[in-house]
Amino acid sequence: MPIYEYACKACGCQFEHLLLPAAKTDPVCPACQSRDLEKLLSGFALSTSELTKARVKAARTQMAQSKDHKDKQIAEAEYVKHHVEDHLPPAEPPPRRLK
């Protein structure tokens, strides 16, 4: 059972699809459900520490640039700001200096 790589022409999402022999439908983009796909040229499976590091770096970069990730970071920062302030003890005044 071959695994094919596709790129969505509508949203640019790249993904893999396992083609089962009994499958009667064409693959769809998991991000936008579009059927306007381009089959990519796939290489054979090869894994080295350098390739793994490069793939992880590319995936992290793609995730960091996504709108969902940025929205989650903003929401988390606001949550922390509001809830941490509620649980902190009152600030102590600075110590007085003796003359």
SS (H, E, C) the chain: CCEEEEEECCCCCEEEEECCCCCCCCCCCCCCCCCCEEECCCCCCCCCHHHHHHHHHHHHHHHHHCHHHHHHHHHHHHHHHHHHHHHCCCCCCCCCCCC
What pTM value is reported for the model? Answer: 0.44
Domain 1-45 has CATH 1.10.3470: no
pLDDT in tens, 4-29: 899 999 999 999 988 888 888 889 99
CA distance 30 to 80: 32
Q: Domain-by-domain residue ranges, the chain?
A: 1-45, 46-87
pLDDT in tens, 58-92: 888 888 888 888 888 899 998 888 887 777 777 77
